[in-house]
Copies of this chain bind each other. A is one copy, B any other.
């Protein structure tokens, strides 16, 4: 048994922070929380006590949507909209991965940055290529971070530079599942059809079946961009909307844990379908802004109880800094406040999205509650915060608006400190 002592800050529910000034979190040997209290727990005299003093202790972040092989495109080409960006940036970058050493250097930088920004859990939209995914599985397991990772299926030829055959695409996924699923309690496979316009119907059907067969979650994209939505409706004339394509092939929630990125242009029917099927929405505000996609109706989703987390969407989004992604979600909601009087996202709501909201895709992570894993970050204030005599609620607010990775002093996974991953390349 271990007892962590410090300023514990988390969100059980979106509407407010739970703040325990100099509180205690007791963790068992498996890393699960057995108690959270303001007073010292019984048996503290004989327990291993870790004292974080005046630092803030918060749950580790979850990034619900990122494309690891796009990392070298970070910050580039945002003069394009989605389909043109894919053609000019997202596709050509794959050429880099023919060289294994470069592949390892890129993923090493990415994983170090995930660690630096306290993204202890991430849902990664893998590359097309088998070898690239293979290397990333190996490196993610070595890192000690949690993730879901899946091979991207893009076997529908129209409008694509670089594609693969349906059979080859399936074979790769099968190989990766056989090799990696079950190898680590922290790293799991996720079925990853690129998006309806990039997949054959055979592939989509197969992805849904594989999810069921192996009890794997599934990720894809939905309603990101108007042109993309048009392409879907043009091709799938039997479907009333984009979501119905995924429903048709049994890829849309219900008995599958599904996450859909973006969901900007959802119709009323699609919103109801997201809720009914319990599908997660990965909200990617920076990406939707950078590529001029639009603003997701976040408040509507929250009001309806749809499950939402934040996605950096590296590299249509430009940063893994989850504080920056929270700020972006708040800023976009302020735009809708100004324009439509919508209730803006509060700091506790933004924090919830980045912790418990997205974290619940991984199970009991993202909060400090009994039964949750102690996957946590220790945060130091910046120089000015210590002058102002701020409350803990102000200190966490300040960190959300102004924080960077330098302030994250330690990361804990399952109650043990996770040191910076180092890869030999």
Give A contacts to B, CB under 8 Å: 71-76, 78-79, 93, 96, 102, 105-106, 109-110, 286, 289-290, 292-295, 318-319, 324, 327-328, 330-332, 334-335, 337-339, 344, 346-347, 383-385, 387-388, 390, 394, 397-402, 404
A74–B384 CB distance below 8 A: yes
B331–A402 CB distance below 8 A: no
Set B335, B338, B387: member contacting A109, Cβ < 8 A:
B387
Set B93, B290, B328, B397: member contacting A75, Cβ < 8 A:
B397
A71 cross-chain contacts in B, Cβ below 8 A: 384
A398 cross-chain contacts in B, Cβ below 8 A: 74-76
A334–B292 CB distance below 8 A: yes
A211 to B332, CA, bound (A): 40
Q: Which residue of chain B is the closest to A396 with respect to CB atoms?
A: B75
Copies in the assembly, this chain: 2
A109–B383 CB distance below 8 A: yes
B338–A292 CB distance below 8 A: yes
A76 cross-chain contacts in B, Cβ below 8 A: 390, 394, 397-398, 401
A402–B289 CB distance below 8 A: no
Q: Would A402 and B290 be within 8 Å (CB), given that A96-B387, A335-B335, A384-B109 are in contact?
A: no
Interface of A is mostly: helix
A411 to B143, CA, bound (A): 37
A346 cross-chain contacts in B, Cβ below 8 A: 79
Q: Would A402 and B72 be within 8 Å (CB), given that A105-B387, A293-B338, A331-B290 are in contact?
A: no
A290 to B106, CA, bound (A): 35
A292 to B337, CA, bound (A): 7
A390 to B106, CA, bound (A): 14
A93 to B319, CA, bound (A): 32
Question: Shortest 5 CB-CB distances between A and B: which pairs?
Answer: A75-B401, A72-B388, A75-B398, A318-B401, A75-B402
A79 to B401, CA, bound (A): 12
8 contacts between A and B (CB under 8 A): A74-B384, A75-B402, A79-B347, A106-B387, A109-B387, A290-B331, A319-B401, A332-B335
A319 cross-chain contacts in B, Cβ below 8 A: 401-402
A331–B401 CB distance below 8 A: no
Q: Which residue of chain B is the closest to A332 with respect to CB atoms?
A: B335
A292–B400 CB distance below 8 A: no
A295 to B41, CA, bound (A): 51
A76 to B344, CA, bound (A): 15
